[in-house]
Amino acid sequence: MKFAIFLGCNIPIRLKQYETASRAVLEALGVRLVDIREFNCCGYPLRNIDLKAFVLSSARNLALAEKENLNMLVLCKCGYGAFRMAEHLMKENAKLREEVNAILGKEGLRYEGDTQIKHLLSVLFNDVGTKTIRERIARPYENLRIATHYGCHALRPSGVVGFDDPVAPTIFDQLVEATGAESSEWSMKLECCGAPLLGTNDELSRKFTEKKLADAKRAGANYLATGCPFCQIQFDTMQQAIESEGGTNHHVPAILYPQLLGLCMDIDKAILGLHNTQIDIAGVENFLAREPGRKST
């Protein structure tokens, strides 16, 4: 298993731990990663501004991976959604694809559509498999309740992104349960985190986050698991802001899935970056089983 890892703009500078934790977990699970330095913006932030600029930006990355004959592993849900959408648009509209290829051709690139686009969670679920993951767990979690946050752009529009069942998805829950933790049932699981509105309508953005936090709390979750830098930063910094401004303390810190998984695989905590968040998540360690080697089935 070999993939071109796509980090995007946010992770290397604002969420380094997502990168280091993912690399460590994937390496331990036998997934090889290749870095392509020339990768650029996935195009997602350009969608509001100019559709063609978005597709072009996306396509350049896909063409770069294609040149190396590699499939893409994307850490970000919005990036994943953007790539799948660009792929879809270029398949549906041959004229658009040719226009994009004419521009890419100037630097000797071409997009043919041969590269498969996968999100970290789909690689872990479909390519690695929960069985392998379970075998690698050193100390499973006990009595830990996790609320999984799927992220809009991985789930919808389902016909384009094809991540999981859009109405009743289970991939993330199964991955969480592989660690020994329990995946909480909560009604707002599939709703938006509020991040896309940050900077345009902060008040509404905050409202979205608060609603989700309150619902996760109601469902009895100890942590909220994410697989996207936008969602993770939103839940972490917005929750911190709400608390520090005297709002409700929801006590549902957000944790990235590879951090959650890495810890029970006995990966170095420094690599997992548990302390790099606004709200400390190091307490998740207390949920690890005392007896090492217990394997859940």
Partner 1 sequence: MFYTVAWHTSLGIFVVGLLYKTTNWFRHKVGPDADGISTSRRISAAARGIVATVFSAKIGTLLKIFLMDVLLQRWLMKKDVLRWLAHICIYGGFMLLLLMHGLDKLVTAALFDNYYSTLNPFMFLRDLFGLVVIVGIGISLYRRLMSKAPRPKSTGVDYYAIIILAVIMISGVLLEGTKIVSHSRYQEMVDEYAGLDDPEELGALEAYWVDKFGVVSPNVKKPFDNQTLKEGKLLHEMSCADCHSRPQWGFIGYGAATVIRPVALSLDRADVQNLLWYLHFLACFLGLAYLPFSKFFHIFSTPAFLLVNAVVKEGESDPANVATRDAMQLDACTHCGDCTIRCSVAVAFNEIPNPNILPSEKLAAFKAFLGGKKPSAKRLTKIQEGSHICTDCHRCTDVCPIGINLEFLWSNLNRKLAQLGYPKPEAWAREAMGGDFNLTNFKEEPLSLTPVDKEFAGELTGSAQASTFSVCFGCQTCTNVCPVVESYENPKEVLGLLPHEIMHCLALKQKELAIGSNMLWDCVTCYMCQERCPQGVRVTDVLYELKNLALKHLKKKAA
Q: Which residues bind partner 1 (CB under 8 A)?
A: 9-10, 12-13, 40-41, 45-53, 56-57, 60, 89, 92-93, 96, 103, 106-108, 152-153, 155-158, 166, 191-192, 194, 196-197, 199-201, 204, 207-208
Q: Where does 29-140 have alpha helices with state H?
A: 51-67, 77-92, 94-105, 120-122, 130-136
Distance of closest approach, residue 200 Cβ to partner 1, in angstroms: 5
Of all residues in the chain, what percent are helix, strand and coil, respectively (each to 5)?
50, 10, 40
Distance of closest approach, residue 156 Cβ to partner 1, in angstroms: 4
Residue 34 or 103: the one with the smaller Cβ distance to partner 1 is 103
Residue 227 or 262: the one with the smaller Cβ distance to partner 1 is 227
DSSP 6: E
Residue 13 or 297: the one with the smaller Cβ distance to partner 1 is 13
Angle subtended by helix axes 94-105 and 77-92, to nearest 10: 110
- The type of residue at 253 is P
Residue 179 or 239: the one with the smaller Cβ distance to partner 1 is 239
Pairing of strands 223-226, 145-148: parallel
Using an 8 Å Cβ cutoff, are 9 and 39 in contact?
A: no
Residue 205 or 259: the one with the smaller Cβ distance to partner 1 is 205
Distance of closest approach, residue 56 Cβ to partner 1, in angstroms: 5
Distance of closest approach, residue 53 Cβ to partner 1, in angstroms: 4
Distance of closest approach, residue 147 Cβ to partner 1, in angstroms: 17
The C-alpha atoms of residue 42 and residue 236 are separated, in whole angstroms, by 23
Residue 80 or 287: the one with the smaller Cβ distance to partner 1 is 80
In SS3 terms, 180-191 reads as CCEECCCCCCCC
Distance of closest approach, residue 38 Cβ to partner 1, in angstroms: 9
